[in-house]
Amino acid sequence: MAKPVHLFPPTSVTLIQKVQSPDTQQREVAMRRFCRVYHPPIHALARKLGFSVEDAEDLTQDLFLKVIKGDVLQKFERERGTRFSAWLMTLFKNLTLHHRQAQATLKRGGGHEHVELNTQYAEQSYQNLHNTGMEAALMFDLMLAREIWVHALESMREKHAHTPHSGLVRELEPLILLPAWPPPPAPPQSEFATRHGISAAQLRTFLCRTLRTQAERLFAAEAQAASPGINAEDIAQLWELLRQNANA
């Protein structure tokens, strides 16, 4: 597999503008999406750098609170030609250098809002990859791809929610990223197909030609939604990284 060219995919100013929008609902929706996608990778990066779970949570909180602040975002917008993701990485590294001050400010309240983050989920995601020896940059990319995939699966469920294949799609979800039908204890294709009232050939066609094609298309769409302006090469690399590590 070719090594990813970028640590982060580029994020357009459009998403940033939504995060700082004067429209409260639009701002909250954009921020929730930003946090859902970037929280686990950022948390993992902090843990990979040697910070404890608690310190990683504090640093991630401080980073997202700075992203919410209009003056920080305006500073980025003036930096023409700089990818938001690269700027975010630099900002995070700066935060780690001043961790004690940031931690003290957060614990005092500091006049900041509190961003609701699922630290348990982020930590579990990190632990699942911790023993693989994966370098920080690659781990970040993989975790980012997985969060984008979560959104893609949600879109796929919605797409098939009112069709006869709704239940079938749900059961096939764990197999979409796999290169072949899994061995036992997974049921054989014939048994699986019979349970859903279709032939094994129809099952293979639906999985390989329909769901996997839709999955890749939806993944690309969700990547663009989370990071408008991301190019096709970056999306393809994230998708391949996701598939290569489907069992990790």
CA nearest 99: which of 61, 143, 68, 69? 61
Quick one: tokens of 161?
A: 């929610």
70 sits in the region (left: phi over 0; alpha: psi -120 to 50; else beta) called alpha
Q: Are 178 and 248 in contact (CB under 8 A)?
A: no
92 domain-assigned: yes
Per-position DSSP letters for 1-30, written without gaps between them: -PPPS-SS----HHHHHHHT-SSHHHHHHH
In a 10 Å sphere around its CB, with 0-12 CB exposed, 13-18 middle and 19+ buried, how is residue 113 labelled? exposed
CA nearest 206: which of 166, 147, 241? 166
Show pLDDT as tens, one digit a residue, over the chain (248 residues): 444 444 455 554 466 677 777 888 888 888 888 888 889 999 998 998 889 999 999 899 888 887 777 667 667 665 565 666 667 777 787 888 876 555 555 444 444 456 778 999 999 999 999 888 888 888 888 998 999 999 999 999 999 999 999 999 999 999 999 999 999 998 999 999 999 999 999 999 999 999 999 999 999 988 877 765 567 888 899 999 999 999 87
4 domain-assigned: no
202 domain-assigned: yes
3 domain-assigned: no
Can you give the residue range of the structural domain that contains 67? 13-244
184 domain-assigned: yes
How far is the first Cα of the chain from the last one, in angstroms, to the nearest whole number? 16
For the chain, how many structural domains are there in total? 1
